Amino acid sequence: MQAPLDPVYTSIYDTRFLTEEQKIHGVLLLLRSMRLSALDLVLKILGDQPEYKSWKLGLFKGKGFEFFFSAMERDKLGMRVMERKLQTDGLTTTVKVMENEMKAAKKIMKMSIKEVTPEFLYAFDLERDEVP
């Protein structure tokens, strides 16, 4: 690796002659010199401020976040963080999906969600119990 760039002078370099590693290192040094982290930058972009809308759309375009989550899964610490997050939010998301499906089924079955018990679900046979 070449010598790191001084963040004060990063803007005077012709970026065509810098490696990707040098560019990224320069940006990270610049963020640090401004007492910001890379996460501060991403969180600000993901906010609702209109001036960052194009940057936000750029983050969601393509497969960038898929690559990000794949990289998190390959990293031991990243995987632990993702597992904690999924344990907390995954259950909530699953419950919401099931609730929405049950609300849709409710229109057909004319039952309230409270009436749909585990026992009912185990005994339910779609072909036998289908409502015309």
**Residue 111, domain member (yes or no):** yes
Q: Domain span at residue 117?
A: 77-132
What confidence score (pLDDT) does residue 3 get? 54
> Does 95 lie in the same domain as 47?
no
**Residue 72, domain member (yes or no):** no
Domain count, the chain: 2
Q: How far apart are CA 72 and CA 69, in angstroms?
A: 5
Q: How far apart are CA 18 and CA 13, in angstroms?
A: 8
What confidence score (pLDDT) does residue 64 get? 83
What confidence score (pLDDT) does residue 132 get? 47
> Does 50 lie in the same domain as 1?
yes
Q: How many residues does the chain have?
A: 132
Q: Quick one: which of 76, 42, 68 has its CA closest to 56?
A: 42
What confidence score (pLDDT) does residue 37 get? 94
| Residue whose tokens read 């610490």 | 77
> Does 52 lie in the same domain as 20?
yes
> Does 50 lie in the same domain as 2?
yes
Query: Is the pTM value of this prediction over 0.75?
Result: no
**Residue 66, domain member (yes or no):** no
> Which of 35, 61, 87 is the last residue before a domain boundary?
61
What confidence score (pLDDT) does residue 109 get? 65
**Residue 68, domain member (yes or no):** no
Q: What is the pLDDT along the chain (132 residues), one digit of tens a residue?
A: 455 555 555 556 677 888 889 888 888 998 999 999 999 999 999 999 999 999 899 888 888 888 988 999 999 999 999 998 888 888 888 888 888 887 776 666 677 778 778 888 888 776 676 554
> Does 54 lie in the same domain as 91?
no
**Residue 45, domain member (yes or no):** yes
> Structure tokens of 43?
């969180």
